[in-house]
């Protein structure tokens, strides 16, 4: 089964019904897509009331890919609000546990920074982090090319398999050490994640204003030929995996929703059990 969704639900105007309130955006979103990446959890461990609100706003079977808090994966910006590492991980576990109990936690995404290269100390760090989160399904996303160097790629994949970790496959610009190639290999039989970051090489390398780096890096609109390439990669993943989660992260120019819809139509995908707040905004567009 192939599931398609976007990163976040707050920045996709094409999926909102006319006059929809800010508080209704997730309800609107879940009328179109069966999965979403929760990225607010990267910037702050979310209070339980938020998690329970999102659980209640989505239909049965809806799935969240929860991005791990930045302090857990070495991305910390600013002061860490937790007194200790133990406290930080405990807060994160308590935050998302209700989502797992509700059957709506697809996986936790551990995205490591671009300077997190393939070396023994970092491998041990992955072991330490995943041991703390062993109650959840965990996806690992590398951003340093060394993990996929010819002499190390097979070892990286085998390491993920041996530790029952989900491989986060990426499509992104090929821009040196701080980017990884598209490697459509699944490391678990049940789930695999494919995140589509766009192919804006210039924006990846030259993000300009530090405050608006996301707007620059993820500004990209996939063309039909590229979506066909992605479709072939998904078909390869589906051969060995029951559930393929496809997340479009090319949000900054408003292209993600349209690209996801085109990909969905291209692959004859129909999602059942969506929110009843159905819209017809995309009919006849592709």
Q: Using one digit for the tens of pLDDT, what is the confidence trace for 99-156?
A: 999 999 999 999 999 999 999 999 999 999 999 999 999 999 999 999 999 999 999 9
How many CB atoms neighbour CB 23 within 10 A?
9
Give the residue-averaged pLDDT of 227-249.
98
pLDDT at 35 over 50: yes
pLDDT at position 280 is 46
CA distances (Å), origin 286, targets 2, 222, 224, 257, 265: 19, 14, 10, 12, 8
pLDDT at position 282 is 46
The pair of three-digit structure tokens given for residue 189, joined into one six-digit string: 């039989």
pLDDT at position 13 is 85
Cα 28 to Cα 234: distance, rounded to the nearest angstrom:
26
The rounded Cα 178 to chain-centroid distance in angstroms is 18
pTM for this one?
A: 0.93
63-67 and 105-111: which strand pairing? parallel
pLDDT at position 215 is 74
pLDDT at position 210 is 60
Q: Which of 20-24, 69-73, 91-95, 136-140 has the lowest mean pLDDT?
A: 20-24
pLDDT greater at residue 240 or residue 209? 240
Cα 202 to Cα 217: distance, rounded to the nearest angstrom:
8
209 pLDDT tier (thresholds 50, 70, 90): low
pLDDT at 158 over 50: yes
Give the residue-averaged pLDDT of 48-65.
97
Contact status, residue 200 vs residue 219, Cβ threshold 8 Å? yes
Cα 47 to Cα 70: distance, rounded to the nearest angstrom:
16
pLDDT at position 80 is 87
175 pLDDT tier (thresholds 50, 70, 90): confident
Q: Which of 126-135, 193-202, 207-216 has the lowest mean pLDDT?
A: 207-216
241: three-class secondary structure by DSSP:
coil
Give the residue-averaged pLDDT of 21-31.
92
Q: Which of 43-52, 70-79, 89-98, 141-150 has the lowest mean pLDDT?
A: 70-79
The pair of three-digit structure tokens given for residue 171, joined into one six-digit string: 């499509």
pLDDT at position 211 is 62
Cα 128 to Cα 133: distance, rounded to the nearest angstrom:
9
Q: What angle do CA 4, 235, 160 make, to 5 degrees?
A: 80
pLDDT at position 78 is 77
Report the C-alpha dihedral over residues 269, 200, 11, 209, rounded to 10 degrees.
170
């Amino acid at each position: 089964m192939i599931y398609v969704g976007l990163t976040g639900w707050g920045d996709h105007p094409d999926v909102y019904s006319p006059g929809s309130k800010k508080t209704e955006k997730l309800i609107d979103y879940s009328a179109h897509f069966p999965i979403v990446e929760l990225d607010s959890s990267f910037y702050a461990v979310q209070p339980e009331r938020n998690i329970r609100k999102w659980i209640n706003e989505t239909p049965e079977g809806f799935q969240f890919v929860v991005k791990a808090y930045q302090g857990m994966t070495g991305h910390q910006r600013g002061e860490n609000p937790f007194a200790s590492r133990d406290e930080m991980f405990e807060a994160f576990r308590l935050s998302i546990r209700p989502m797992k109990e509700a059957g709506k936690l697809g996986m936790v995404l551990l995205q490591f920074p671009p300077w997190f290269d393939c070396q023994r100390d970092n491998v041990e760090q992955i072991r330490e982090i995943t041991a703390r989160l062993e109650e959840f399904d965990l996806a690992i996303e590398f951003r340093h090319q060394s993990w996929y160097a010819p002499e190390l790629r097979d070892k990286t994949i085998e390491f993920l398999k041996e530790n029952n970790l989900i491989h986060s496959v990426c499509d992104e610009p090929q821009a040196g050490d701080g980017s990884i190639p598209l490697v459509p290999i699944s490391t678990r039989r049940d789930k695999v994640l494919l995140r589509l970051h766009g192919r804006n090489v210039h924006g990846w390398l030259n993000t300009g204003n530090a405050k608006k780096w996301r707007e620059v890096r993820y500004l990209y609109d996939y063309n039909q030929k590229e979506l066909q390439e992605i479709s072939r990669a998904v078909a390869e993943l589906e051969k060995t995996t029951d559930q393929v989660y496809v997340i479009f992260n090319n949000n900054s120019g408003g292209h993600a929703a349209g690209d996801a819809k085109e990909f969905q139509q291209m692959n004859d995908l129909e999602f059942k059990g969506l929110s009843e707040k159905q819209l017809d905004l995309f009919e006849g567009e592709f």
